[in-house]
């Protein structure tokens, strides 16, 4: 065989391997507010994706663009080597991963990529349980909200076995920018909780500051311009307030109940590490109080409405 023939044969084999890889099914369990746009991006990138969610309407939306619907979590784990999870609570995550009919019983799954926010202790427990069955866990919570999931601009905080991380790196690039933060499951979770605690605390104090400004006769648009040109700028003043609060649309896409879950997990984990969390605990109480005032299902940006009500201030647009 000539060197040219050998080269052609090698190239053909490489292309066949790439084609085979592109045709491998990926699994996705949990296609809600965050999971659905992430699964959509994987489908639109050309991957075969098998999806499962208890919400049939969410699954139908993905079926319409080429996903295959599974009848159970176990069916997903029997169909895909790599399975993504995007789930709302630690308890649901544990049940999906380790419970009866869960991922742990699957015949095909070898890597679980967890995009949820469930805390480092739960992530470690699940990772240990799956590893006993030869399944690696890539701990990969995301930040950027539903808008970032749709646009593929999420920040992905990934931790786990370096070999498993390398295998899924190309998939992460479809979803956003990946930051490898450690080699152990749980490290990504800790960083995500710290990030979310900072974000939700910044939004709470920004709400109080803007309501106080309006009460004192300041124009909220002028306040926004000045603060964002100075040292007080933060994620709330740069993004959430101009896009979702001042226009009174309140459509950031993240409910108050999820904020309460995340900041609660963050404060608990930080206290377990020996950090007193005076500020974090106060922010946690503010969000929990808003949830108890009928706000649990409301968009997180509606917190400002509660501060207005507590302060007897008209809306910031007035």
Among the three residues 184, 199, 216, which one is the final residue of a domain in this structure?
Answer: 184
Give the pLDDT of residue 10.
Answer: 41
Q: Is residue 316 part of a domain?
A: no
Locate 270 and state its tokens.
């930080």
Residues 107 and 175 in one domain: yes
Within 10 A of 277 (CB to CB), how many other CB atoms are there? 17
Rounded distance, CA 206 to CA 64, Å? Answer: 41
Rounded distance, CA 268 to CA 119, Å? Answer: 10
**Number of independent structural domains in the chain:** 2
Residues 153 and 214 in one domain: no
Distances (CA, A) of 230 to 227, 233, 244: 5, 6, 21
Rounded distance, CA 130 to CA 126, Å? Answer: 6
Among the three residues 168, 184, 200, which one is the final residue of a domain in this structure?
Answer: 184
Residues 169 and 276 in one domain: no
Q: Is residue 147 part of a domain?
A: yes
In degrees, rounded to 5, the angle at the alpha carbon of residue 274 between the alpha carbons of residues 273 and 276 is 120
Residues that are catalytic? 192
By C-alpha distance, which of 222, 265, 260 is closest to 241?
Answer: 222
Q: Which residues pair with 173 in a beta bridge?
A: none
Q: Is residue 69 part of a domain?
A: yes
Give the pLDDT of residue 315.
Answer: 64
Residue partners of 194: CB distance under 8 A and separation at least 6: 266, 270
Give the pLDDT of residue 24.
Answer: 80
Give the pLDDT of residue 12.
Answer: 41
CATH code for the domain of 170:
3.40.50.720
Rounded distance, CA 300 to CA 245, Å? Answer: 10
CATH code for the domain of 224:
1.10.1040.10
Rounded distance, CA 307 to CA 47, Å? Answer: 45
Residues 64 and 200 in one domain: no
Residues 177 and 204 in one domain: no
Q: Is residue 57 part of a domain?
A: yes
Residues 117 and 241 in one domain: no
Provide the domain limits for residue 105: 3-184
Residues 16 and 146 in one domain: yes
Give the pLDDT of residue 15.
Answer: 36
Q: Which residues pair with 48 in a beta bridge?
A: 25
Residue partners of 174: CB distance under 8 A and separation at least 6: 41, 42, 45, 152
Rounded distance, CA 155 to CA 145, Å? Answer: 10
Convert the pLDDT of each residue in 214-269 to its tens digit.
999 999 999 999 999 999 999 999 999 999 999 999 999 889 999 999 999 999 99
Give the pLDDT of residue 294.
Answer: 87
Residue partners of 111: CB distance under 8 A and separation at least 6: 81, 82, 83, 135, 136, 137, 138, 164, 167, 168
Rounded distance, CA 12 to CA 173, Å? Answer: 26
Residues 138 and 197 in one domain: no
Residues 242 and 303 in one domain: yes
Residues 146 and 31 in one domain: yes
Q: Is residue 317 part of a domain?
A: no
Convert the pLDDT of each residue in 281-301 to its tens digit.
999 999 999 999 887 899 999
pTM of the predicted structure, to 2 decimals: 0.86
Residues 176 and 203 in one domain: no
Q: Is residue 171 part of a domain?
A: yes
Torsion of CA 162, 163, 169, 172, to 10 degrees: -70
* pLDDT string in tens for the chain (318-residue length): 444 444 344 434 433 433 443 358 999 999 999 999 999 999 999 999 999 999 999 999 999 999 999 999 999 999 999 999 999 999 999 999 999 999 999 999 999 999 999 999 999 999 999 999 999 999 999 999 889 999 999 999 999 999 999 999 999 999 999 999 999 999 999 999 999 999 999 999 999 999 999 999 999 999 999 999 999 999 999 999 999 999 999 999 889 999 999 999 999 999 999 999 999 999 999 999 999 988 789 999 999 999 999 998 766 654
Among the three residues 129, 154, 184, which one is the final residue of a domain in this structure?
Answer: 184
Rounded distance, CA 191 to CA 266, Å? Answer: 9
Q: Is residue 142 part of a domain?
A: yes
Give the pLDDT of residue 14.
Answer: 38
Distances (CA, A) of 4 to 10, 11, 13: 10, 11, 14
Residues 150 and 227 in one domain: no
Q: Is residue 318 part of a domain?
A: no
């Amino acid at each position: 065989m000539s060197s040219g023939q050998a080269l052609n044969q090698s190239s053909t084999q490489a292309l066949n391997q790439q084609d085979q890889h592109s045709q491998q099914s990926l699994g996705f369990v949990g296609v809600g507010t965050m999971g659905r746009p992430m699964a959509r991006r994987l489908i639109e990138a050309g991957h075969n994706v098998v999806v499962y969610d208890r919400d049939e309407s969410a699954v139908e939306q993905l079926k319409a663009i080429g996903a295959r619907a599974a009848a159970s979590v176990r069916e997903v784990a029997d169909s895909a080597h790599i399975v993504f999870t995007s789930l709302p609570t630690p308890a649901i995550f544990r049940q999906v991963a380790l419970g009866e009919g869960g991922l742990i019983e699957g015949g095909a799954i070898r890597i679980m990529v967890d995009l949820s926010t469930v805390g480092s202790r739960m992530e470690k427990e699940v990772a240990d349980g799956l590893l006993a069955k030869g399944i690696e866990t890539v701990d990969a919570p995301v930040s950027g909200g539903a808008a970032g999931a749709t646009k593929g601009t999420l920040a992905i905080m990934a931790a786990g076995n370096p070999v498993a991380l390398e295998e899924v790196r190309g998939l992460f690039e479809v979803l956003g920018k990946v930051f490898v933060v450690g080699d152990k499951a749980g490290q990504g979770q800790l960083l995500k909780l710290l990030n979310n605690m900072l974000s939700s605390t910044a939004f709470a104090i920004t709400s109080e500051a803007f309501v106080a400004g309006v009460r004192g006769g300041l124009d909220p648009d002028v306040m926004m311009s000045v603060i964002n040109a100075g040292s007080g700028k933060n994620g709330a003043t740069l993004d959430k307030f101009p896009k979702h609060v001042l226009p009174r649309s309140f459509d950031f896409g993240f409910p108050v109940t999820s904020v309460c879950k995340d900041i609660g997990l963050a404060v608990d984990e930080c206290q377990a590490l020996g950090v007193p969390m005076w500020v974090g605990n106060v922010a946690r109480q503010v969000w929990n109080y808003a949830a108890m005032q009928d706000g649990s299902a409301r968009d997180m940006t509606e917190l400002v409405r509660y501060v207005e009500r507590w302060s007897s201030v008209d809306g910031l647009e007035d």
